[in-house]
Chain A
């Protein structure tokens, strides 16, 4: 009933209060749906656990991941003869504890995935939105460039560039972003083109709202859903790509623990000590699997909501 007495003084406060309330309502609604969708929830929990493990690695890891202990060389995991509880998942070829290396390695994988998708998603979406809205020469040039970039198989391109600029975390991120912005570009461009034909855009234009405001305040909130889904799914892809590059020796260099290079190091011992290669791969599998589950769940949650809205 207080609305009946809106004066000019407190009207803006009421509007801000309502907008804030709507924001939190939608977040609560989203979380409720997330919990209801069992697979997405499971995925979210596992991903969250990995992130927590990565952040608190120094407290969780039982041993120093870089400390070599030749006596321990190739010790098997604890359920096999010769293993011990202190080295829960065994030791690698120079005696470093595999569990600790996996815990620290999760930092690299998660960081690479998130940062790459974050940067390339941001750039790609920005460029795509403008290209899709304004069309014209800007769009034509960018699209041609995007097509050209796509004509290289990703791995060859990445190997190439890594050989040139040299290994290292920063270089890896730059090279991964170099090609990945194209997916976001294409998606946001396509969505922007189709959204632009709708009436609410026409209405905003008729009202005299500036183009930039239209892009950010009107259209972008509507297409952000598909972009988020794409982003989630790409994170897993980039984690695998980073592992592949580390596997070839072109990504993160040893002795820094990275799952890909751990798998590669274990190749020489495949015949006798299978755990050196297999166990880091299982960690990789679980992480990427849960990210994909989360992404799929997000797609289910966000899409039908769009249709209902």
Chain B
């Protein structure tokens, strides 16, 4: 019974993605502003022939339904069209920028975990102590501070005034590592390029903190409340009476179980990480997917918008699906 429901959920992804594709397509065509005009740099100095040639090239002269058909059939062949602005296939543009976004999201996730897990656990173990109160205060600040403001403040403090960390971009060109995965930190480790590692880490820190602060706050609170629940459970008391050291009781028995709801929350946060990327990428000049979406919305670059939004939606839907499925196994009371 459950298996069938899971299969149902997985299969529903396809019509959902189709619906999203159509939605994106329609919404974009409704935007004011002519893409051909933007392509020509809005100079207004173009001849009719050039406009017509461009329209033909990008199928903009066909009726809407035909354009939609081209787009949808293209998806199934892996062809997402060609960018209006850059004349490159959309797929290539996205693949170029995807590792940057993934690296940023991973950086934020790792930062938030490094901060949230110790604070969450200690706050729960020493409830109502000074550490607990400080931890909760920090968590509140994290959710209340807007990420983009935090990014600007961090830049002002660390880059401008103290001059320790760089302001912009992913790396200084001279130190760019060999392209293996596209993620600079990983590539520098894999190619043992320690200078590049140091450089790319320095560029990664501030954006990760800005993006991960809100994450860290949420994870801290969830972890703390589930740890509190778990620490009152019988099996923890049993472990203590068995004579196990407090450290083992906390880490191997309590923490493991407390992590279950936390992991599901983290899964849901992945969507937020992707959504919040855009502003952080804009502030830090990070050449990722989010910034691509923003600039292409402003320049009415339809194929890029379509491709990028479809990708975002796919990742989001998949993450939610995995979390939902996991959750039914972990908490038998919830149904799909």
A-to-B contact residues, CB < 8 Å: 147-148, 150-156, 159-161, 163-164, 166, 236, 240, 243-244, 247-248, 263, 266-267, 270-271, 274, 277-278, 281, 284-285, 288-289, 291-293, 296
Any chain A CB within 8 A of the CB of B143? Answer: yes
In the complex, the 8 A-B pairs of residues with the closest C-beta atoms, listed nearest first? A153-B275, A281-B149, A289-B144, A288-B144, A155-B275, A240-B146, A274-B156, A151-B317
Residues of chain A with a CB closer than 8 A to B317's CB: 151
A240 to B272, CA, bound (A): 14
Residues of chain A with a CB closer than 8 A to B316's CB: 151-153
Residues of chain A with a CB closer than 8 A to B149's CB: 243, 263, 277-278, 281, 284-285
Query: Distance in Å from the Cβ of A183 to the closest Cβ of chain B?
Result: 13
Q: List 16 A-B contacts (CB under 8 A).
A: A148-B19, A152-B309, A153-B312, A156-B275, A159-B294, A159-B297, A163-B297, A164-B27, A248-B282, A266-B152, A274-B156, A278-B149, A278-B152, A281-B145, A285-B149, A288-B143
A154 to B313, CA, bound (A): 11
Residues of chain A with a CB closer than 8 A to B279's CB: 155, 244, 247-248
Q: Give 1 or 0 for each of B142-161: 1 = CB within 8 Å of chain A CB.
A: 01111011001101100010
- Which residue on chain A has the smallest CB distance to residue B314? A151
Residues of chain A with a CB closer than 8 A to B143's CB: 236, 288, 292
- Which residue on chain A has the smallest CB distance to residue B308? A156
Any chain A CB within 8 A of the CB of B32? Answer: yes
Residues of chain B with a CB closer than 8 A to A291's CB: 144
A292 touches B144 (CB 8 A): yes
Residues of chain A with a CB closer than 8 A to B298's CB: 163
B146 contacts which of A150, A243, A292 (Cβ < 8 Å)?
A: A243
- Which residue on chain B has the smallest CB distance to residue A282? B149
Any chain A CB within 8 A of the CB of B20? Answer: yes
A281 contacts which of B19, B141, B152, B274 (Cβ < 8 Å)?
A: B152
* Contact A153/B27 with A148-B19, A293-B140 known, Cβ cut-off 8 Å: no
Residues of chain A with a CB closer than 8 A to B32's CB: 164, 166
A267 to B149, CA, bound (A): 10
Size bracket of the B interface: 35 or more
From residue 268 to 301 of chain B, which have CB atoms closer than 8 A to chain A? 271-272, 274-276, 278-279, 282-283, 293-294, 297-298
Residues of chain B with a CB closer than 8 A to A248's CB: 279, 282, 294
A160 to B306, CA, bound (A): 11
A151 to B298, CA, bound (A): 22
A124 to B158, CA, bound (A): 44
> Beyond A152-B20, A291-B144, A292-B140: 17 further Cβ-contacts under 8 Å?
A148-B19, A148-B20, A152-B313, A153-B316, A159-B293, A160-B24, A161-B27, A166-B32, A263-B149, A274-B156, A274-B160, A277-B152, A277-B156, A278-B152, A281-B152, A281-B153, A288-B144
Contact residues of B: prevailing secondary structure? helix
B146 touches A156 (CB 8 A): no
Q: Give 1 or 0 for each of B1-38: 1 = CB within 8 Å of chain A CB.
A: 00000000000000010011000100100111000000
B-to-A contact residues, CB < 8 Å: 16, 19-20, 24, 27, 30-32, 140-141, 143-146, 148-149, 152-153, 155-156, 160, 271-272, 274-276, 278-279, 282-283, 293-294, 297-298, 309, 312-313, 316-317, 320
Query: Distance in Å from the Cβ of A154 to the closest Cβ of chain B?
Result: 6
Residues of chain B with a CB closer than 8 A to A150's CB: 320
B148 contacts which of A160, A263, A289 (Cβ < 8 Å)?
A: A263
A278 to B148, CA, bound (A): 11
Residues of chain B with a CB closer than 8 A to A263's CB: 148-149, 152
Residues of chain B with a CB closer than 8 A to A159's CB: 278, 293-294, 297
Residues of chain B with a CB closer than 8 A to A281's CB: 145-146, 149, 152-153
Residues of chain A with a CB closer than 8 A to B146's CB: 240, 243-244, 281, 284-285, 288
Residues of chain A with a CB closer than 8 A to B30's CB: 164
A56 to B156, CA, bound (A): 33
- Which residue on chain A has the smallest CB distance to residue B279? A244
- Which residue on chain A has the smallest CB distance to residue B148? A247
A160 touches B27 (CB 8 A): yes
A156 touches B278 (CB 8 A): yes
B320 contacts which of A151, A271, A285 (Cβ < 8 Å)?
A: A151
A164 to B28, CA, bound (A): 8
- Which residue on chain B has the smallest CB distance to residue A155? B275
A285 to B140, CA, bound (A): 10
A156 touches B148 (CB 8 A): no
A244 to B277, CA, bound (A): 12
- Which residue on chain B has the smallest CB distance to residue A270? B156
Residues of chain A with a CB closer than 8 A to B145's CB: 281, 285, 288
A93 to B229, CA, bound (A): 52
A270 touches B297 (CB 8 A): no
A27 to B30, CA, bound (A): 50
Residues of chain A with a CB closer than 8 A to B148's CB: 243-244, 247, 263
Query: Distance in Å from the Cβ of B316 to the closest Cβ of chain A?
Result: 6
A284 to B143, CA, bound (A): 12
A292 to B137, CA, bound (A): 11
* Contact A154/B275 with A159-B297, A164-B27 known, Cβ cut-off 8 Å: yes
- Which residue on chain A has the smallest CB distance to residue B305? A160
Residues of chain A with a CB closer than 8 A to B27's CB: 160-161, 164
B271 touches A153 (CB 8 A): yes
Among A153, A288, A293, the most chain B Cβ lie within 10 Å of the Cβ of: A153
Query: Distance in Å from the Cβ of B35 to the closest Cβ of chain A?
Result: 13
Among B16, B153, B272, the most chain A Cβ lie within 10 Å of the Cβ of: B153
Query: Distance in Å from the Cβ of B284 to the closest Cβ of chain A?
Result: 11
A142 to B153, CA, bound (A): 42
